[in-house]
Amino acid sequence: MLQIYDDIPAGLLDCEAQDLHTILPGPSLLHLPGDKPEPLFISVLMHGNETTGWDALRSVLQDYQGRRLPRSLSVFIGNVAAAAQGVRHLPEQPDYNRIWKAEGQHEEEVMVRQILEQMRERNVFACLDIHNNTGRNPHYACVNRLATSFFQLATLFSKTVVYFLKPDSVLSMAFAELCPAVTVECGKATERSGVQHAREFILNALALERFSDESMDVHSLEVFHTVAVVKVKEGMSIGVGEADCDLDLLPEVDRYNFHEIQPWTPLARLHAEREMPLYASNEFGKDVTERYFAIRDGDICNIVPVMPSMMTLDVDVVRQDCLCYLMERLDLGKTLST
């Protein structure tokens, strides 16, 4: 399933994301030499409709044509089949960012083990996983470990950092066993500012000599801890401003992302007398729905102060992934230890 290259295939850098399948027959891993042998690993198009990573990386590689990279680079170009159709993943496919526990024998899990083993053998320096989201969110970075090197890498992209442990089958979680790893969220794929931001991030990471052993001053950072994921129960029809569906999301609800909302803020309407359509689970998989949500006069509301992230109005994303995550501010003290 995995295609492996030791150079850039002819014509690849001329391709938009939706055309990559004309050159790459499937998920592909490119190993490119550089001055520093320990490679920077970059993954793009883990979701086929999140094109910013490829656009940014393509721009960087175009600039380096005919020149040697400052550091070796290993690039995973993920779901090219989904990119051809502009969707997160095809109906018969798993989510490419939910397979990295690699515990089974499906071809995607075999592929993941192959990638991780190759990067372990190459003594990978750091991992960047570049994404978009569909709601209104700031650009931010995510880490899975509270360690200085992870935050040093994250803050090359943003002073806003989210720490999460679930879902635990994402790429960054697997790479955290090998090297500092970060996921970056570059806003909507249609926003060109995300491409420039991701490009700068890649260039800064390529230029990074090493990670400091010194503790890190965190007073200037905004750090959040993801405490719950919110999904919609199966069997519920979902819409946005549609009175004929079960769960009617308010049209501007994604404006709440990265803002603390007060108790009893309406998030959606329940147009039928149904049970609570949302399901919230914490880091340990425990049902915490009743801690966060209730129905009042047909409105679905939060009942405690919450700060959502990745709240989306894209019904397909809600069904395939989740409605949002809930976060709390995380106090790291004045410094972050090594």
Q: Give the H or E element holding residue 248.
A: strand 247-249
Q: Over 90: is that where the pLDDT of 215 sits? A: no
Handedness of CA 92, 311, 233, 223 (dihedral sign): positive
Task: Give the pLDDT score at 211.
Answer: 94
Q: What is the pLDDT of residues 132-160, one digit of tens each?
A: 999 999 999 999 999 999 999 999 999 99
Q: Over 70: is that where the pLDDT of 175 sits? A: yes
Identify the band that residue 225 occupies on the pLDDT scale cut at 50, 70 and 90. Answer: very high
Task: Give the pLDDT score at 103.
Answer: 87
Task: Give the pLDDT score at 145.
Answer: 95
Q: Over 70: is that where the pLDDT of 9 sits? A: yes
Q: Over 80: is that where the pLDDT of 336 sits? A: no
pTM over 0.75: yes
Secondary structure of residue 183 in the 3-state scheme: strand
Query: Average pLDDT of 36-50?
Result: 98
DSSP string, 122-182: TT--EEEEEE--SS----EEEESS--HHHHHHHTTT-SEEEE---S-SSHHHHHTTTS-EE
Dist CA 65 CA 7 (whole Å) = 11
Pairwise pLDDT comparison (74 vs 272), residue with the higher score: 74
Q: CA distances (Å), 60 to each of 34, 69, 198, in order?
A: 14, 10, 10
Task: Give the pLDDT score at 218.
Answer: 78
Q: What is the pLDDT of residues 270-318, one digit of tens each?
A: 977 778 999 999 999 999 999 999 999 999 999 999 999 999 999 999 9
Task: Give the pLDDT score at 136.
Answer: 94
Counting residues of the chain whose pLDDT is more than 70, the rounded percentage is 99
Q: Which residues contact 115 (CB under 8 A, 6 or more apart)?
A: 2, 29, 76
Identify the band that residue 338 occupies on the pLDDT scale cut at 50, 70 and 90. Answer: low
Query: Average pLDDT of 64-75?
Result: 97
- Domains of the chain in sequence order: 3-213 (3.40.630.10), 226-326 (no CATH)
Secondary structure of residue 3 in the 3-state scheme: strand
Identify the band that residue 219 occupies on the pLDDT scale cut at 50, 70 and 90. Answer: confident
Task: Give the pLDDT score at 208.
Answer: 97
Counting residues of the chain whose pLDDT is more than 90, the rounded percentage is 89
Secondary structure of residue 315 in the 3-state scheme: helix
Identify the band that residue 337 occupies on the pLDDT scale cut at 50, 70 and 90. Answer: low
Dist CA 235 CA 274 (whole Å) = 11
Q: Over 60: is that where the pLDDT of 335 sits? A: no
Task: Give the pLDDT score at 334.
Answer: 59
